[in-house]
Structure 1
Amino acid sequence: MASELIPNAFLASPRSVRSSLVSRLLAAALLTIGAIAPALAGELLPLADKAVVLAFGDSLTSGIGGSGENYPQRLATLIGHEVINAGVPGETTAQGRERLSTVLRDSRPGLLILCLGVNDFLRGVPEAQIAANLGAMLDLAADASVPVLLLAVPAPGASQIDPLFARLARLGQVRIDLHAMADTLMQPALKAGLVHPNAEGYRQIAKAVAQSLRDGGALISR
């Protein structure tokens, strides 16, 4: 499978009865980083017929380098659902954290695809802060009862994914795809520069994300 999932039962739990995800992430980020462990098995809820998918992120979501191609637009044609492209070029996890609540309120999505972190890596943002910001966004989605597919991204020039993404998914109990974005960003033939995919790269990302949604049960009827 291209992605894994941890049960989403926490989405229905009052925030007061679960410990702060941000606090746990800050503590976990101080531990020695180990190998990426696979997430526990589980399923996403099937998307309702008219459910909207929110693709939230930076230039990798908006489509820089794709000559008009971007993965949310292509994904919409593959899954038969509207996919809102809420990508902002240059955005960091701190900026995304500030923006997400408004976008969730305005779009009312049935699913959030979250892809941020590359700009933090480029700026040398400490791992603990990246984890805290992403964790806060998972909390916002949980409070809005919106399931999440987290797309892991590699640091520019890295040969593997930072384990913080797998750890984040485990603590946040959300589905994670370790390959959809990362595999493309690690193939020079699918890139338009150091950071961004080219048109074919975005098409490959869309196909991989669509498969993740099928594997997770979000597109069970399609």
Structure 2
Amino acid sequence: MKIKKLLYLSLFANLIFLSGFLTTAFVYRDKLLQRYVTIKGDYRILMYGNSITAQGKWVELLERTDVLNSGLPGQCTYHFRQLLKSHVIERHPEICFVMGGINDITYGVAQEKIRANYQAILDTLVKNKITPVVTLTVYEQNDPVSMSEIKSLNDFLIQYCKLNHIRYIDLNRYISDTTGLKSEFAKDKTHLNEKAYEIWAKEIRQVLKEKKI
């Protein structure tokens, strides 16, 4: 009788352990996948940007294990420029998707400095034979001042990309309106929800198809 009870207790304990393990694996699946990608080391695609990029579950979204998330939460384009060698160049991806600028604008960095940093980043990628793709800065919710600054930056990026034959992605046409980021695509004032990331991933997949990557 005691043996039977011990068997039941053991089975119950194992079920609890397995349930906890599966729950943890599901919650942290993107981190586990990114760890696998890092160890695997043969990534062709690199995502580079601030927290908006960092929060993307890119392995899942793009359904491939050769994409590395190198997002830097809270950082400005100055930091992206300074860390470009260690976070991108030395990892030798074929293509790098870049998005930044919103933190610069929030901190009051002058447009001239943001543009100079962006230009240096893109030029360095090209010189190192890494294909750059710019994701234009996404508008925030209901912030006319921020929206005006973002529009100015995006106008520069569009012009620069066209002049230098660099591909760019404009998410605002899908997820924003005249007031800024639509609530249906917003996690908060600045960050995106899963619906927005799915649209972004669709645009990225189209670029990868065009580039045959």
TM-score band w.r.t. shorter chain: 0.5 to 0.7
Q: Does 2:206 match 1:211?
A: yes
Q: Does 2:97 match 1:91?
A: no
The two structures have a TM-score, normalised by structure 2, of: 0.67
The alpha-carbon deviation at position 174 of structure 1 amounts to 1.1
**SS of 1:120's equivalent?**
helix
Q: Does 2:103 match 1:112?
A: no
Distance 1:183 1:120, change over 3 A: farther
The alpha-carbon deviation at position 155 of structure 1 amounts to 4.4
The partner residue of 1:139 within 123, 147, 153 is 123
Cα-to-partner distance string for 1:55-92 (whole Å, 9 max, x where unaligned): 100001111xxxxxx25233430xx4511100011110
Give the corresponding residue for 1:82.
Answer: 66
- Cα separation, 2, equivalents of 1:93 and 1:183: 24
User: Is residue 213–residue 219 contact of structure 1 (8 Å, CA) maintained in 2?
Assistant: yes
Q: Does 2:174 match 1:183?
A: yes
- Cα separation, 2, equivalents of 1:71 and 1:118: 20
The alpha-carbon deviation at position 95 of structure 1 amounts to 0.5
Which letter does structure 1 place at the counterpart of 2:174? D
Distance 1:204 1:71, change over 3 A: farther
User: Is residue 53–residue 110 contact of structure 1 (8 Å, CA) maintained in 2?
Assistant: yes
Cα-to-partner distance string for 1:125-165 (whole Å, 9 max, x where unaligned): 11111110000001110121111111001343328743121
**SS of 1:163's equivalent?**
helix
Give the corresponding residue for 2:137.
Answer: 153
1:4-43 matches, cutoff 5 A: none
Give the corresponding residue for 1:22.
Answer: none
Cα-to-partner distance string for 1:85-112 (whole Å, 9 max, x where unaligned): 0001111000000011122233110101
**SS of 1:87's equivalent?**
coil
Give the corresponding residue for 2:58.
Answer: 72
The alpha-carbon deviation at position 176 of structure 1 amounts to 1.1
The Cα RMSD (Å) is 2.2
- Cα separation, 1, equivalents of 2:115 and 2:59: 28
Give the corresponding residue for 1:36.
Answer: none
Aligned length: 160
Q: Which runs of 5+ in 1 are unaligned?
A: 1-49, 64-69
Which letter does structure 1 place at the counterpart of 2:62? A
User: Is residue 55–residue 61 contact of structure 1 (8 Å, CA) maintained in 2?
Assistant: yes
Distance 1:126 1:183, change over 3 A: farther
The two structures have a TM-score, normalised by structure 1, of: 0.65
Q: Which runs of 5+ in 2 are unaligned?
A: 1-41
Greater CA drift, 146-155 or 87-96? 146-155
Identity of aligned residues (%): 22
Q: Which has the higher helix share?
A: 2
